[in-house]
Structure formats: C-alpha cells, structure tokens
C-alpha cells in the first residue's frame, strides 16, 4: 500500500494546531504500519525530525504554497502531477486541501469552516479561495475527517455531506504539558509576569480569537478586584502585529498585559503550567487545543460556550458568552475569589482529559483511512 501525504505544514519550531495534528498522527501511523509506504510532500526543504521511519520517502515540490495563487499551483498542478505519476492508494491531506483532477482516492482533514461563517476574519483573497475550493474538496473527498462532533455536523450541513462519511478524530495532548510545583511556577512567573499570577491566552492573534473582548474583560476584572493579576497573551501573529498592540494600548491596565509572541514549545509548556487560569474565549473553534493542554497542567479554564468548545471542555471549565465582556470578567472574578471552584474544575478535568490522546487520534485517523480504502 502507498499513501501520499501533504506535509507542507511540518515546519521546524513553527507547528501550530494543524501542524501538531499532522506531526503527532503521522509519527504514530508511519511507525505502527511498517509495511505501508508513505510519501511525504513538502513545499520547501524539510527537517529530518519529520522523517519518522524507514518507510517514508520525502519529496520537495515547488512552489512554496503560502498564498492563494500558490495554493492553486501547488495542489492543482504540482501535487496532481505527482499523484497521477505515483498512482497511490490514497492522498491524505491533514490541512484539508485536495488536488482537483488527481486520479486517486483523497481524504482531507477539514478542521473547521470558520471561513464560511466569518469570511472577514481572513484576508479577502484567502477567504475567497477557501470558500470557493473547500466545498469542492468536500464533494471530491471519498471520506472526510474532522476534529470535533461540532465540526462534523457543521461540514455536513453547509457542504451537504452525509454525516456517515465524516469521521471525528479528536486532537491529543502533547507530552510536555504537565503540572509544576509552586517553586517552579514562581520561577516561570518571575520570567514572564513580574512574579505575579496571570490569566493566560494561547493562540494566534486572528480576529476569531476575540482578544478585544478578552482585554476589555480583563479591564473590568482589574477595576473590580484591584488585584495584582496580569494577562499573558502567547501566540503567533498572522495579521498585523500592530493590531495586537493597539488592543493592548486601549486598555487602562495595559501595563499589566504582556504579549510574548510565539514561544518555543518547551517554554509554552512551562507558561501554561504556571498560569492561574486559561482564559480561552474565541467566538469560533473547530477544537481548541489549549483547552486540553490546560487540563493536563491542572489549571482551571474559562471557555467560550460556542461552537466546539463546550464539547471539548465538558464540565471542566466555566462557560461564558464570548460576546459578553461582563460575563467573561465575572468568570475571572469568580475564579480569583473561589479556591473551591478552581479545585472542582481541576478535579473534573482530570477525568475528562482522558478522552484525548495522540495515540487515540492516530488510531482514529488510521481507521478513517481504512474506511476510505
């Protein structure tokens, strides 16, 4: 059996949510299936860390696909040519893009369709590309995998796909996330928050992450509690870094808001485990990996009550309306004042987190591959 995989998002030290899904599932599937030949398609020079086993053949094909025009050339010309030449049993695409005109079975992982609901969250050309091609990909796919029951139903409804042809493959929790003792936490806080306790947000600075309202809620929290808490924002900037700075500059407590940018994975793990609580209030998520990472680190969670997030957190978080600044602020105040509530949320999370592991993810994705074949 030969499976060709789109691995263009396996970038050293730059793995995001889809990148981690790609890395962790492929690492397991390739080593667990030594009799299967995998061809990894990269759009630039690759790192050997992503060649997990001897049954992988890496290929670099041009151009680098980081713009809608280049997406089109890469997937619908370069990748199509390779697929029609190799004639594999399957083309697996962990970021959801498929190759129109390729003469083989294709399985995309469509993580969410936020671009359908909120097209203005993306640059205009990117939004138009996604909303033109992803419905075609969904129809072309022999099966579809996605990362939550919410996304499954969303894709089925809006792209007119039979739900029986969509498999849910949850994300897992990276191995380095774990609790830290009080001494270790204080060391991390000394580095990042002037030694103070902090609420934490982890994620890209895209509009759907709702940072405007999170910062406004933090202002209300500070005004009502007069506490020394900080707000730490950690993540890559995918639009204009000035947008994040403008959000912070509008805050009357901007001296207590710290934007770190992207951090190395080992540092992010320490930051997460040293937070007072995770405040993760996007208005749209297909999954929300930081939610389960927080569970693994034994910290309480404030989460949005929309899209996939209630499904992912279960009873392990305070759920809030992400469009209501006062509701977010009140949840922050509750956690700051109620140690028993924090302890209860952490206790709830220790059972709930067992629903998520990369071993389970890899097995579920492999099952989806077998169904497709």
Segment 43-57, tens digit of pLDDT = 999 999 999 999 999
**pLDDT tens per residue, range 262-273:** 899 999 999 999
Same domain, 135 and 245: no
Residues 345 and 361 in one domain: no
Is residue 20 situated within a structural domain?
A: yes
Query: Would you say residue 367 lies in a domain?
Result: yes
Question: SS3 for 195-245, per residue?
Answer: CCCEEEEECCCCHHHCHHHHHHHHHHHHHHHCCCCEEEEECCCCCCHHHHH
Percent of the chain topping pLDDT 90: 91
- In this prediction, residue 242 carries a pLDDT of 52
44 Cβ partners below 8 Å, 6+ apart? 8, 60, 64
Do 367 and 351 fall into the same domain? Answer: no
Residues 20 and 168 in one domain: yes
- From 263, 50, 111, select the one nearest 176 (Cα to Cα): 263
Give 126-144 pLDDT, tens digit per residue.
999 999 999 999 999 999 9
Instruction: Based on the fold, state whether residues 195 and 146 are members of the same structural domain.
Output: no
Within 33-148, where are the H helices? 68-73, 80-86, 114-117, 124-140
Question: Containing domain of residue 218, as a range?
Answer: 182-355
| 151 contacts: CB under 8 Å, gap ≥ 6 | 110, 111, 112, 113, 168, 286, 287, 308
Q: Which two tokens stand for residue 206?
A: 């895209």
Whether 301 and 278 have beta carbons less than 8 Å apart is answered as: yes
pTM of the model: 0.94
Q: Is residue 238 predicted with pLDDT exceeding 90?
A: no
> In terms of C-beta density within 10 A (0-12 exposed, 13-18 middle, 19 or more buried), how is residue 339 classed?
exposed
What CATH number has the domain bearing residue 16?
3.40.50.2000
Tens digit of each residue's pLDDT (9 = 90 or more) over 143-201: 999 999 999 999 999 999 999 999 999 999 999 999 999 999 999 999 999 999 999 99
168 and 201 both lie in a single domain: no
pLDDT per residue as tens digits for the range 288-345: 999 999 999 999 999 999 999 999 999 999 999 999 999 999 999 999 999 999 999 9
If you write DSSP's letter for every residue of 325-365 in order, what string do you get? Answer: HHHHHHHHHHHHH-HHHHHHHHHHHHHHGGG--HHHHHHHH
């Amino acid at each position: 059996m030969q499976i060709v995989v789109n691995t263009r998002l396996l970038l050293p030290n730059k793995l995001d949510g889809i990148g981690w899904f790609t890395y962790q599932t492929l690492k397991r599937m390739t080593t667990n299936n030594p009799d299967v030949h995998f061809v990894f398609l990269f759009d630039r020079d690759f790192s050997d860390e992503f060649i997990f086993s001897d049954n992988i053949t890496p290929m670099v094909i041009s151009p680098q696909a980081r713009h809608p025009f280049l997406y089109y050339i890469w997937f619908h010309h370069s990748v199509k040519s390779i697929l029609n030449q190799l004639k594999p049993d399957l083309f697996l695409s962990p970021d959801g893009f498929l190759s129109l005109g390729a003469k083989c079975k294709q399985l995309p992982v469509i993580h969410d369709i936020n671009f359908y609901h909120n097209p203005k969250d993306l640059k205009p050309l990117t939004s138009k590309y996604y909303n033109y091609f992803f419905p075609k990909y969904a129809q072309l796919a022999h099966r579809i995998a996605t990362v939550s029951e919410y996304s499954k139903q969303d894709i089925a409804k809006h792209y007119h796909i039979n739900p029986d042809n969509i498999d849910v493959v949850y994300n897992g929790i990276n191995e380095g996330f774990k609790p830290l003792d009080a001494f270790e936490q204080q060391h991390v806080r000394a580095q990042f928050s002037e030694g103070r306790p902090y609420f934490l947000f982890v994620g890209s600075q895209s509009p759907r992450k709702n940072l405007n309202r999170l910062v406004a809620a933090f202002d209300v929290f500070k005004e009502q509690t007069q506490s020394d808490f900080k707000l730490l924002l950690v993540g890559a900037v995918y639009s204009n870094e000035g947008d994040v700075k403008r959000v912070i500059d509008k805050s009357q407590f901007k001296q207590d808001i710290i934007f770190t940018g992207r951090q190395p994975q080992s540092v992010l793990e320490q930051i997460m485990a040293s937070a007072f609580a995770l405040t993760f209030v996007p208005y749209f998520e297909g999954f929300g990996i930081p939610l389960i990472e927080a569970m693994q680190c034994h910290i309480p969670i404030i989460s949005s009550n929309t899209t996939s997030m209630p499904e992912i957190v279960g009873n392990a978080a305070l759920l809030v309306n992400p469009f209501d600044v006062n509701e977010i602020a009140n949840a922050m105040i509750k956690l700051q004042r109620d140690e028993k509530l924090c302890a209860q949320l952490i206790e709830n999370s220790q059972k709930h987190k067992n629903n998520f592991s990369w071993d389970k993810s890899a097995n579920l994705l492999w099952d989806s591959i077998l169904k497709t074949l």
